[in-house]
Amino acid sequence: MCAKVTSIGLKGMEGYRVNVEVRTFVGNDSIRIVGLPDAAVKESKERIMAALRSLGYTINGQKIIINLSPSEQKKSGPMFDLPMAIGVLVSLNELVNSIPENSGFIGALSLDGAIVPVEGMLPAILAAKKIGLTRLYMPYDNRLPYLKFDGLEIIYITSVKEVVEILEGRCSVFFTPKKEEMDSDNSSFIDFQQIIGHIETKKALEIAAAGEHHVLMTGPPGCGKSMLAESFPSILPPLSKEAQLEVIALHQLSGANYLNAKTPPFRNPHHSASGISMIGGGTFPKPGEISLSHRGVLFLDEIAEFPKKTLDMLRQPFENGKITISRTQATLTYPASFILIAAMNPCPCGYAGSNTHYCTCTPRQRIAYQNKISGPLRERFDIHLAIKPVDLEGKRARGEFSSKIVQRRVEAARSLQHQRYGRELSNSRVSYDTLQKTSPLTDGQQRILRLHSVKKNWSNRTQIKIIRLARTISDLEGEIHITDQSIGEAVMLRNGERW
């Protein structure tokens, strides 16, 4: 008898339907798996034999062939243990009832027949919903958030025996996890009100958070660049349900845990990080730092110390919000929509333009240091900030720049953007055509922008980024249209000037 069971295969974050076909013959005791299985899938035959025998099933005198279709796709991981075991039982007539085509199975087997969680279950669940499955059997994993989808029933199981009882109608009570709401906890980040001064810089960071704009900060050592960057996540809104699932799925695929699902991720790789660790890679490519910061913040401190080749790898995800990794074994695409906050010194010694220290660098050394960031990469930053040391004896601004207050203003601005574009999209991510249709510039504003562009020799990309910035500034002010004042502020932010 030939049995067919549905499962889910993964190609990066993308999932696809896998048909597990099982056929048994009279012959030597053996299980053969075909369909491009990797080593982990090939080892499944030993786990299946041990698990079924421990539960009292016999496969003596049976030759079993298992085909994982589509055969041209590489199959990896122990996620197919459960569907293969169910297929074997159906093929041996140990499970009489037929398996509905809209039911899927994922999970790894223990030698005693228990079903255990595996990496990548959350992307598999999202794929099951996408391909139209209505019921999914899987082990419970307490590292996952509470999952509930319209049109997809998730049944948590603990053993093969329990699955057989459910399929035969002898068990109608399923395990249901308790719904636990996770609060967004930004207390681990520095609050804005703890930072003395930097009023204009905080305002610029608020604009960056509201529109998801990239920021490059330049200033001498000790002026507060790192502290400002580390406080930036405290003003970001909590992640939506969809964003939470994306973030947790990416961390699962990388083998890491993400504890606070509602808080946007914050990644701070060292400048010695390799290109592969930044963009992702390996024989079977895993997400890198830019994907682990998806929906959150990637902070590159001392960006000029990173290898130039590594920095230039960021140019594609800067524009597209995703990264495609090509290897011999596979070509995978991971999302990488992040806010980049970068900090650097103005020169090798760090004190060019300082009022308190003497700079020992020659003009040639300063130019060479600045040129460590290529022109195309520098142009992709929306906001350029020149940070100066703060007079600690000055008055400390509180209340107005408390992170909670700023966060509410950022949430209000993003809400306007989501309403304008009809989905969860920010000004920096929306296509220019949509931006132009929803927020056209007046003739006077176009003339002002054109004069600045001729004077500064700006590219089209720079002009578009200024329009995006102006749109975000107007959103923070609650304006329906882009104002003349917001155009002026956007120009100054782009030039790194004070306003």
Q: pLDDT tens digit string along 125-149? A: 999 999 999 999 999 988 787 788 8
Predicted confidence at residue 180, as pLDDT, reads: 58
Query: With bands split at pLDDT 50, 70 and 90, how would you rate the model's confidence at 497?
Result: low
| Cβ-defined contacts of 372-375 (< 8 Å, 24+) | 372/304, 372/305, 372/308, 373/303, 373/304, 373/308, 373/311, 373/344, 374/308, 374/311, 374/312
Q: pLDDT tens digit string along 190-219? A: 888 888 888 899 999 999 999 999 999 999
Is 50 in contact with 84 (CB distance < 8 Å)?
Answer: no
Mapped onto helix, strand or coil, the DSSP state of residue 405 is helix
Predicted confidence at residue 399, as pLDDT, reads: 44
Say if residue 105's pLDDT is above 70: yes
What is the C-alpha to C-alpha distance for residues 322 and 315, in angstroms, rounded to an integer? 11
> Which CATH number is correct for 2-167, 3.40.50.1100, 3.30.70.1560, 3.30.230.10, 3.30.830.10?
3.30.230.10
Q: pLDDT tens digit string along 229-238? A: 999 999 999 9
* Architecture label for domain 192-424: 3-Layer(aba) Sandwich (3.40)
Closest residue by Cα to residue 298 from 336, 256, 266: 266
The DSSP code for 57 is -
Tell me which of 145 and 228 has the higher pLDDT: 228
User: Where are the CATH 3.30.230.10 domain residues in the chain?
Assistant: 2-167
Is-above-0.85 flag for pTM? yes
Predicted confidence at residue 455, as pLDDT, reads: 87
Tell me which of 176 and 459 has the higher pLDDT: 459
Tokens of 310: 């590594």
Predicted confidence at residue 432, as pLDDT, reads: 92
Q: pLDDT tens digit string along 142-187? A: 878 778 888 899 999 999 999 999 998 887 666 677 665 544 555 6
The DSSP code for 396 is P
Q: What is the mean pLDDT of residues 48-61?
A: 88
Predicted confidence at residue 392, as pLDDT, reads: 67
Tokens of 36: 């491009």
Predicted confidence at residue 179, as pLDDT, reads: 63
Q: Which residues pair with 9 in a beta bridge?
A: 16
Q: How far apart are the first and last CA of the chain?
A: 77
Q: pLDDT tens digit string along 374-406? A: 888 999 999 999 998 887 665 554 445 789 999
Using CA atoms, how far residue 7 sits from 15, 102, 123, 399, in Å, is 10, 10, 13, 54
The overall longest dimension of the chain from CA atoms, in Å, is: 88
Predicted confidence at residue 398, as pLDDT, reads: 45
Say if residue 299's pLDDT is above 50: yes
Q: What is the mean pLDDT of residues 458-464?
A: 91
Say if residue 478's pLDDT is above 90: yes
Predicted confidence at residue 318, as pLDDT, reads: 84
Predicted confidence at residue 186, as pLDDT, reads: 57
Phi, psi dihedrals of residue 175, rounded to the nearest 5°: -70, 130
User: Where are the CATH 3.40.50.300 domain residues in the chain?
Assistant: 192-424
Q: If you average pLDDT over every residue of the chain, what do you get?
A: 88
Is 233 in contact with 296 (CB distance < 8 Å)?
Answer: yes
Q: What is the mean pLDDT of residues 343-366?
A: 89
Say if residue 12's pLDDT is above 60: yes
Closest residue by Cα to residue 291 from 314, 259, 323, 260: 323
Mapped onto helix, strand or coil, the DSSP state of residue 421 is helix
What is the C-alpha to C-alpha distance for residues 15 and 124, in angstroms, rounded to an integer? 6
Q: How many CA atoms lie within 13 A of 32 on its CB side?
A: 10
Is 332 in contact with 11 (CB distance < 8 Å)?
Answer: yes
Predicted confidence at residue 393, as pLDDT, reads: 61
Tell me which of 283 and 487 has the higher pLDDT: 487
Q: What is the mean pLDDT of residues 98-106?
A: 90
Q: Which amino acid is at 107?
A: G
Closest residue by Cα to residue 344 from 221, 232, 246, 250: 221
The angle subtended at Cα 227 by Cα 223 and Cα 228, nearest 5°, is 90
Closest residue by Cα to residue 319 from 470, 431, 195, 410: 431
For the chain, give the percent of residues with pLDDT over 90. Answer: 57
Say if residue 321's pLDDT is above 70: yes
